[in-house]
Amino acid sequence: MEYRFLGNTGLKVSAIGFGNGLNSDTPDKLKITIELVKRAYSLGINFFDTAEFYGCGEGEIQFGEAFKALGAPRQELVISSKIFWAVPLNSPNLKKVNQIGLSRKHIFEGVKASLKRLQLDYLDIVFCHRFDEDTSLEETAKAFNDLIKQGLIHYWGTSEWSASEIFEVKEVCARLNLTPPVTEQPQYSMMVRDKFEVEYGRLFDKYRLGATVWSPLCNGILTGKYNDGTFPSGSRLQEFKDSPFLKRIYDLYFAEDKKEKLLKLLNGLANVAKKLGCTQSQLAMAWVLANQDVSAAITGATRLEQLDDTVKSVEFIKKITPEVNKEIDEILGNKPMPGMDVKSFGLKKHTRRELMIIKNQY
């Protein structure tokens, strides 16, 4: 396993983290969650991520039982959760209005409830699961600053915030002398690139912002299991095909007017993986981790073999050479523009990601 600093902090996290969003739907997933946590730890994973929203608390309950069964020293684990939704999105109960958002009330009550479910005394990181337009950044930042002072959390971060929102909260914290957020948790994969590679560039330069990215395998699309255009039994897109979130994934990638292009792309990636001697999942994960702006890539799993396969991707990071990266860019067809070199009135020679890949070779 490779370990990386969480941005500009002294905290080291495993390059691959384990998240349980997939295993938090029902209590009968507890057994496999315990097995997966034990296997993850044995493979060198020290970073575990969950949220109050996963299974409406069930994800945290399962992780709590899994950590107890694991029996590892607390100082060896980096555990994070996320605060924003403590109730289902379609909850009709108006009495629960204060269980959504980033008010001081919900942050304190949410974190304390998370700790109780996780059976922990403190969390290493708590993320704001989304931006709250209805609560002032001053209120949110002061709440997290106080949680740190009380020893209930060590760091705080954001998830799926825009660069401008992160810059704004950094300014608020500097003005009020508060501990600022040190990491962001955005989506990043071969299929979803622009926000991470372009919008956040200045944040990485100025603050060395940490990044624990989610869905590096793009909801399983990049694993190779859908390369023939069908949904195998037991696959996520087959098992949860009626959920609104996965229906959106289907519309984005598998609609009739997009399916042919997707399958050509997936089979092109399969050929690259074959040449490198890795699985398609390992190629997709190694591609994400080759970008050194990534502190950790969070993976989920429903079987031990999936976790074993994903962790081996660390061995292939160095194989994402500039030449391989260029070949993958040509297959994907979504490489961001490199931006303007204003001093020479032309385009920059390399994108930020390409510069990272070049740096990896030395």
Length of the chain: 362
CA–CA separation, 40 and 244 (whole Å):
30
**What amino acid is encoded at 316 in this protein?**
F
CA angle 126, 132, 136 (to 5 degrees): 100
Sign, Cα dihedral of 172, 174, 178, 183: positive
**What amino acid is encoded at 200 in this protein?**
Y
Contacts of 275 (CB under 8 A, 6+ apart): none
- In 3D space, the residue among 303, 289, 293 whose CA is nearest the CA of residue 220 turns out to be 303
Give SS3 for 331: helix
CA 180 to chain centre: 20
Catalytic residue among 54, 155, 188, 253: 54
Sign, Cα dihedral of 302, 308, 309, 314: positive
CA–CA separation, 358 and 362 (whole Å):
8
- Annotated active-site residue 54? The verdict is yes
Angstrom CA distances, 357 to 5, 37, 87, 292, stand at: 18, 31, 42, 8
Beta partners for residue 157, in sequence order: 127, 183
Classify residue 322 by burial, with Cβ atoms within 10 Å: 0-12, 13-18, 19+. middle
CA–CA separation, 280 and 35 (whole Å):
24
Question: Radius of gyration over alpha carbons of the chain, in Å?
Answer: 20
Which residues are known catalytic residues?
Answer: 54
